Amino acid sequence: MSNNTSPRVGLFATCLVDLMRPVVGFAAVKLLEDAGCIVDVPVAQTCCGQPAYNAGDTSDTIDIARQVITSFENYDYIVVPSGSCGGMLKHHYIELFEGDSEWAPRAQAFADKTHELLSFLDDIMKVSLTGLKLDATVAYHDSCSGLRELEIKKQPRALLNAVDGLNLVEGTEAETCCGFGGLFCVKYPDISEKMVDAKVDDIVATGADTLVAGDLGCLMNIAGRLQRRNIDIKVRHTAEILANMTHGPAIGDPMDDA
């Protein structure tokens, strides 16, 4: 597939995918390679720094941002399977280096070639998927950062609509926050519970048997609440479906339950 004109993509896997759900990383690599990219997964990557940034620890966030930019700035594109980390790399790094004559231009150049996975496949690589089949009624949750910081709305839906047998249904609250919010959900568990319950109720009302989204934080939150409430709706990252990697267990399911 690859040749001289193939873009070189550095995959920023995100700390959650790296630790909790490697299949999303594999799905991203496969989708990118199928789209004609040469994919590299730099070993120096850890986390985008968002937990520190949202906790107000700006000076450490700046150190982390420098580290990420340095490890990735030589690729043609940086692709990340998360709207939240994508928003961090694309928008908040620029804010961090405002007025810094060396790093502001580097952060800007880095941001310009950074994309969330699904919007990259649809907007930049103009991928059209064929031969995919999955019999499922799927609800899509718009993660807040993906939707409002990166304007990801149509792209994942367009890609999912190419899957034969997949019936995409819309919750009326698809754009409402699920209550994850990073440390918010452990700092204010009661409020978070109320929010994720509203999300779960909305998903149940769609009649979906599967929930997908582009952010593992939201997905783990929603899956965990569905399971606590004994509701049998499978939860997966959108990329798993698009890469035909749905043979393993859904989020939070045991290994033999695939």
Partner 1 sequence: MQSTSPNFTQNAKDALQDDPLQAALAKLTDGFPIQRLEAAARLPEFEDLRDEARDIKTHVLENLDLYLEAYEKKVVESGGHVHWCQTAEDARETILKICQNANAKTVTKSKSMISEEIAVNDFLEENGIEPVETDLGEYIIQLRDEPPSHIIAPAIHLSKEQVADTFRDAHTDLEKDRPLDEPRALLEEARAKLRTKFLSADVGLTGANMLIAETGTNVLVTNEGNADLTNNLPRVHIVIASIEKIVPTLEDATTILRVLARSATGQDISVYTTFCTGPRQLNDLDGPEEYHVVLLDNGRTDMIGSEFHEMLRCIRCGACLNHCPVYKSVGGHAYGWVYSGPMGAVLIPNLIGMEEAQHLPHASTLCGKCESVCPMRIPLPKMLRRWRERQFKAELGSTRARWALKSWVWLVKRPRIYRLAMNMSVAILGQIGFRGRFKSLPFAKGWTSKRDLAAPTGDTFLSQYHNGARGDQSGELIRRGGRK
Q: Which of 3, 43, 99, 232 binds partner 1 (CB under 8 A)?
A: 43
CA-closest candidate to residue 87, choices 178, 151, 179, 164: 151
Q: What's the CA gap between 157 and 111, in Å, rounded?
A: 24
Q: Does residue 56 belong to the site contacting partner 1 (CB under 8 A)?
A: yes
Q: Does residue 35 belong to the site contacting partner 1 (CB under 8 A)?
A: yes
* Per-residue interface string for the shown chain with partner 1, residues 66-85, x marking contact by CB under 8 A: -x------------------
18: CB partners within 8 A, 6+ apart? 25, 45
Q: Does residue 136 belong to the site contacting partner 1 (CB under 8 A)?
A: no
Q: Which of 17, 160, 203, 213 binds partner 1 (CB under 8 A)?
A: 17
Cα-based distances in Å from 88 to 54, 165, 172, 191, 223? 10, 35, 27, 24, 24
CB of 95 to partner 1, least distance (A): 8
Output DSSP code: residue 76. S
Q: Where are the beta strands (DSSP E) in 148-253?
A: 164-169, 210-213, 234-237
Q: What's the CA gap between 38 and 173, in Å, rounded?
A: 37
Q: Does residue 47 belong to the site contacting partner 1 (CB under 8 A)?
A: yes
12: CB partners within 8 A, 6+ apart? 45, 48, 68, 72, 78, 79, 80, 85, 89, 114
Binding positions for partner 1, 142-161, rule CB under 8 A:
144-145, 148-149
CB of 129 to partner 1, least distance (A): 6
Q: Does residue 57 belong to the site contacting partner 1 (CB under 8 A)?
A: yes
* Per-residue interface string for the shown chain with partner 1, residues 115-134, x marking contact by CB under 8 A: ----------xxxxxxxxx-
CB of 211 to partner 1, least distance (A): 13
Q: What's the CA gap between 256 and 141, in Å, rounded?
A: 27
Q: Does residue 63 belong to the site contacting partner 1 (CB under 8 A)?
A: yes
Binding positions for partner 1, 162-221, rule CB under 8 A:
175-177, 179-196, 198, 220-221
Q: Does residue 31 belong to the site contacting partner 1 (CB under 8 A)?
A: yes
CB of 101 to partner 1, least distance (A): 21
CB of 114 to partner 1, least distance (A): 19
Q: What's the CA gap between 107 and 78, in Å, rounded?
A: 12
Only segment of 2-10, 28-36, 72-80, 202-210 that touches partner 1 (CB under 8 A) = 28-36
Q: How, if at all, do strands 210-213 and 114-116 pair?
A: unpaired
